[in-house]
Amino acid sequence: MGLDIVLKDIQSGAQAEVSRIKAEADAKVSEILNEARDGQKKMLGDRLAQSEEDLKNLHQQVVSSANLEVKRIKLNKRKELLDQVYNQTYESIKSMPASKAENLLSVLIKKHEADGVRIYSDKNSEAIVKKLSSLSFAGNIDDSIGGIVLENEDGTVRLDYTYDTILNTIYERSLKQLSDILYG
């Protein structure tokens, strides 16, 4: 019987040790699982925050891109309109009535005659220019829709007041304004 008691004591001590080890193992497993869950939650939260940031950046990029495209389309339409106005103005000047051509030439000559000693004009305006100007008529301007060119005594300075040049200057200035709007 003494052996049975010793055996029971050993078994009971072993059982208690097994229960203690099992309880420690369960606690450790629980701790590891909790840490893993916390880590997973943090990682998921970090990924969610990064995804939201990426989405926000992408949205901003799409909006900026769309705004730039709208601006480009508007400016292209403005340029098309400017080109149409240029062409219509060119044709209008080219085909204006003689009385209006004479009035415009009169204004140009009165305003700028003092700047030169010789005057040039297109072939169609030659008679009008000779009539309106006291300057020496020096010849015709080829490929011009009208206007005058003034020249100084030694021919080193020419002032171009042809309608072509005036129209091109206004057109280029308008294009520069469009470019400034587009590219800041």
Q: Cβ of 105: how many Cβ atoms within 10 Å?
A: 22
Q: What per-residue confidence (pLDDT) applies to 160?
A: 93
Q: What per-residue confidence (pLDDT) applies to 46?
A: 87
Q: What per-residue confidence (pLDDT) applies to 1?
A: 56
Q: What per-residue confidence (pLDDT) applies to 71?
A: 85
Euclidean distance between CA atoms 125 and 97, whole angstroms: 12
Buried residues in 146-169 as b, exposed as e (16+ CB within 10 A): bbbbbbeeeeeeeeebbbbeebee
Q: What type of residue sits at position 149?
A: V
Share of the chain above pLDDT 90, in %: 40
Q: What per-residue confidence (pLDDT) applies to 182?
A: 64
Euclidean distance between CA atoms 147 and 104, whole angstroms: 8
Q: What per-residue confidence (pLDDT) applies to 121?
A: 93
Global pTM exceeds 0.75: no
Which stretches of the chain score pLDDT less than 50?
none
